[in-house]
Amino acid sequence: MLNIETFKSEVVIESPGRINLIGEHIDYNGGFVLPAAVDKKIRLRLRKNNSSSCTIYSSNFKSSFTIVLDDLVRKEVEWQNYIIGVLFHINVLKPNTIEGFDCIIESNLPLGSGISSSAALECGIAKGVNDLFNLGLSDIEIIKLSRDAEHTFVGTKCGIMDQFAVVKGKKEHLILLNCETLDYELIKADFRDYKIVLLNTNVSHSLASSEYNVRRDECDTALTAIQKKYPNFQFLTEVPVKIMKEFKAILPEKIYNRALYVTQENKRTIKAVKSLKKNNIEKFGSYLYKSHYGLQHLYEVSCTELDFLVNLTRDLDYVIGSRMMGGGFGGCTINLVHKDKAEDLITLASASYEEKFNIQLSAIQTTISDGVKQL
Ligand code: ADP
Ligand code: MG
């Protein structure tokens, strides 16, 4: 067992969670997303241990495990696989360069709440091992191998947005990322008198991980059907709404709705960014509500608790945008709230939510920060 108090770190890494303003479930469909890294973080402390095994302690789980470096295989305990997966994929890129190390993980990021503690963990461990052993991995290598770890060791076929935001985040900036080319533009996160408040439902329905992969398959089904007539489209986000509508009578209703959401949401993201650049923050906020509508009714990844929190804001003139954030089926809503009224929203939402569901929500007021870094 590692001793948190006396542990002598050689490398200390801070790895942030991320928010996403708009462009949900779009990364794996090759479109535009608008994430940012936040000031809630995972802190990883590492030191070499001159052996051929690694011992890793998570203070969130109050448990540790030891893994031998020449036997990097999946384990039964889910959280361990995020780490083992990263080590495995580093070893693919840079064979036999990792030596034994110990690592202590502490975090003030809520787990499983759509703020991407998973990517923060993956990219944090990748950056930590990279810096401890001077592996010379590039940012893009860290981003991609972290995503690959989640695919192969955890089994969630996530897109690239979370890892990209965790690594490339910049204080006070949003990242407009093209998930097909990975070109990106940093946009000043200026919301005028408004600020971001996350309301965590504190529920995480079991559908979250299975339905994620189902949505990916449904999008593939839609794209394959569209490609029979239009072979040049490589991603659903490339299909114009007009062409998409030709398939309303052809695709099963559910599959059509998924595809329609994707193409609409991608367009919305581009329009939302235009509004933001014009300083029209009210318009920007209205796209968040539209995004939620699509996620609730067409993509069907919301849940009663999330819908309740979004609906509650509709009558409040000091909230100009609200939607579910992340994979769905629980986790947080993201809200654009007048800066003088954030506490009012939190008080109101907490009381109404508890009365309705008998669950306490947690409110998270975040600021936009830098991506993963060594302290
Ligand atoms: P999200 O990424 O939105 O937080 P996920 O379900 O994708 O939700 O990832 C959450 C999982 O990531 C946790 O259940 C756990 O397995 C792992 N994880 C995140 N933070 C930590 C941590 N501090 N220690 C150990 N495992 C963690
Ligand atoms: Mg995740």
Residue nearest to atom 12 of ligand 1 (CA): 118
Amino acid at 136: G
Residue nearest to atom 9 of ligand 1 (CA): 118
User: Residue 1 pLDDT more than 80?
Assistant: no
Q: State percent of the chain over pLDDT 90.
A: 95
**Separation between Cα atoms, residue 76 and residue 56, nearest integer Å:** 16
**DSSP SS3 for 30:** coil
User: Residue 348 pLDDT more than 90?
Assistant: yes
The least confident of 3-7, 126-130, 357-361 is 3-7
pLDDT in tens, 158-207: 999 999 999 999 999 999 999 999 999 999 999 999 999 999 999 988 77
pTM: 0.96
Residue 114: CB within 6 Å of ligand 1?
A: yes
**Separation between Cα atoms, residue 57 and residue 106, nearest integer Å:** 9
For ligand 1, what atom is nearest to the CA of residue 79?
16
**Separation between Cα atoms, residue 332 and residue 278, nearest integer Å:** 28
Residue 317 annotated in active site: no
| Bridging pattern class, strands 53-58 and 101-107 | parallel
Residue nearest to atom 24 of ligand 1 (CA): 58
pLDDT score, position 206: 76
Question: Once rounded to an integer, what is the mean pLDDT over residues 229-246?
Answer: 95
Residue 158: CB within 6 Å of ligand 1?
A: no
Query: Measured in angstroms, how far is the CA atom of residue 340 from the centroid of ligand 2?
Result: 31
Selection from 194, 146, 169 nearest residue 19 by Cα: 169
**Separation between Cα atoms, residue 254 and residue 251, nearest integer Å:** 8
pLDDT score, position 72: 96
Catalytic pick from 39, 148, 162, 217?
162
Name the token pair of 298.
């067409």
Name the token pair of 8.
């002598």
What letters, b where the CB count within 10 A reaches 16 and e where it falls short, cover 325-364? bbbbbbbbbbbbbbeebbeebbeebeeebeeeeeeebebb
**Separation between Cα atoms, residue 261 and residue 256, nearest integer Å:** 9
Residue 324: CB within 6 Å of ligand 1?
A: no
User: 369: which residues sit within 8 A by CB, 6+ positions away?
Assistant: 16, 37, 38, 39, 41, 169, 171
pLDDT score, position 5: 87
User: Residue 10 pLDDT more than 90?
Assistant: yes
Query: Measured in angstroms, how far is the CA atom of residue 142 from the centroid of ligand 1?
Result: 18
Inter-CA distances, 167 with 56, 93, 157, 189, 365, Å: 22, 18, 19, 18, 21
